[in-house]
Homo-oligomer: A and B are copies of this chain.
Amino acid sequence: MIFTKQNILEFEKPYRTNFINSLSGFKSANLIGTISSEGKTNLTIFNSVIHVGANPALMGFLMRPVSVERHTYTNIKETNYFTINHISKEIFKQAHQTSARYEKDISEFDACKLTPQFNEAIKAPYVKESKIKIGLKFLEEQEIKSNGTIFIVGEIVEIVLPDDVVDNDGYVDIEKATTIVISGLDSYHETKRIARLSYAKPGVEPKEI
């Protein structure tokens, strides 16, 4: 089955949104926590968080255009901090609910029954119920000119995770931490490891490690 650019343009908007959002493959499932300069917390689900670099340790995510007010964006610009919290299987419904359009004076923590948790190093709330939490300091933003989305980059300042998920080689077993994964806009999936593979070299078959 082949779809052309013309087909995409002729789709009804909701159909196109579902369709195109499915094409990038599976997506990371994270909650981003921030706080305003007046101390109001905010929490929003993002499926665009990616690894940016290991040294310095950087993560980034893509945010929709700020032509309408984005509380996450405003808070990051005010405080310079945000947290990234893995969505585990146990909290996927609460996490999804954070995508509802709450007014600025309502905290998604309260509305979605999740608990803000503060550590000294980070001026932003973690999600207590999340098993893997990362505190970041804002570094830079790059606007994608084609559609006004903004790629936000932060430096990792702190990581909070369970004792038993870090393997001897540094790999963090996020499946063991019941981190889930998203496809499209609204489909949530758990995972089952097939294998880890050895570092690839020309002419050598990859081995399961």
Interface of A with B (CB < 8 Å)? 1-5, 8, 11, 13-30, 47-60, 62, 84, 86-87, 89, 92-93, 96-102, 106, 111, 119, 121, 132, 134, 139-140, 142-147, 149, 151, 153, 155-163, 166-167, 169-175, 179-181, 183-202, 204-206, 209
A158 and B5 within 8 A (CB): yes
A156 and B194 within 8 A (CB): no
Q: Given B99, B155, B187, B200, which contacts A97 in the complex, CB threshold below 8 Å?
A: B200
CA distance A184 to B177 in the complex (A): 14
Q: Which residues of B contact A205 (CB under 8 A)?
A: 93, 97
B187 and A196 within 8 A (CB): yes
A2 and B144 within 8 A (CB): no
This chain's copy number in the assembly: 2
CA distance A92 to B206 in the complex (A): 10
